[in-house]
Amino acid sequence: MAKSISTKKYDQFDVWLVELEPTIGSEVNKKRPCVIISPQAMNNSLNTVLIAPLTHTQKSYPTRIYTNFKNEDGQVMLDQIRGVDKSRLKKLLGSLDAETGQDILKILRVMFS
Tell me, yes or no, whether 26 lies in a domain.
yes
3-class secondary structure, 95 = strand
pLDDT at 61 (0 to 100) = 94
Tell me, yes or no, whether 4 lies in a domain.
no
Tell me, yes or no, whether 6 lies in a domain.
no
What digits encode the pLDDT tens for the residues 51-103? Answer: 999 999 999 999 999 999 999 999 999 999 999 999 999 999 999 999 999 99
Dist. CA 60–CA 64, nearest whole Å: 7
Q: Could you tell me the pTM of the whole model?
A: 0.88
Three-state SS for 59-71 is CCCCCEEEEEECC
- Which range marks the domain in which residue 23 is found? 14-111
Indicate which CATH number applies to the domain containing 30: 2.30.30.110
Dist. CA 34–CA 10, nearest whole Å: 12
pLDDT at 18 (0 to 100) = 96
Residue 85, beta-bridge partner list: 48
Tell me, yes or no, whether 9 lies in a domain.
no
For every residue of 28-93, DSSP letters joined together read: --SEEEEEE-S-HHHHHH-SEEEEEEEES-----TTEEEEEETTEEEEEEGGG-EEEEGGGEEEEE
Quote the number of domains for the chain: 1
